[in-house]
Amino acid sequence: MGIEAKLSDGRVELLLKGEFGPDDLAEFNKLINDSISLGKKQLLIDLKRVDRLTLHGLAFLSRWAMEVRRQDGLIGLVNLKPEVRRALVESKLLSLFKIIGSKKQMKNGAQ
């Protein structure tokens, strides 16, 4: 399992870990739909345990971002390592997300 989820005020916080497969995608989609039905349209994905993104990892992130945007929501990414950021830039997917340096910065109101 690659996802740990935590609900907080107005937001869903997720911690991603190493292994990912199609089952995780289905689980995440359900999580998004459940969250939106509860009125939570912001997702925060913590990537501190992710060293690099493969093609499939990028594809999952972009599909989640599209799904949340369709519902007028937003995904924030926190704790991006250099290789992860580089992969998002090269695939031109960076603009789909709100990038936050760290959870501390987020609490201080950084965009």
Q: Interface with another protein by CB under 8 A: which residues?
A: 2, 16-23, 25, 50, 52-60, 62-63, 66, 87, 90-93, 96
> Least distance (Å) from another protein to the CB of residue 103?
20
Give the span between the Cα atoms of 61 and 74, in whole angstroms: 12
CB of 10 to another protein, least distance (A): 26
Q: How far is the CB of 7 from another protein (least distance, A)?
A: 22
Instruction: Between 34 and 51, name the residue whose CB sits nearer to another protein.
Output: 51
Cα dihedral: 9, 28, 63, 83 (round 10):
80
Q: Which is nearer to another protein, 1 or 110 (CB)?
A: 1
CA distance 14 to 80: 14
Closer Cβ to another protein, 36 or 96, answer by number: 96
Could you give the CA distance from residue 96 to residue 108 in angstroms, rounded to a whole number?
A: 22
What length does the chain have? 111
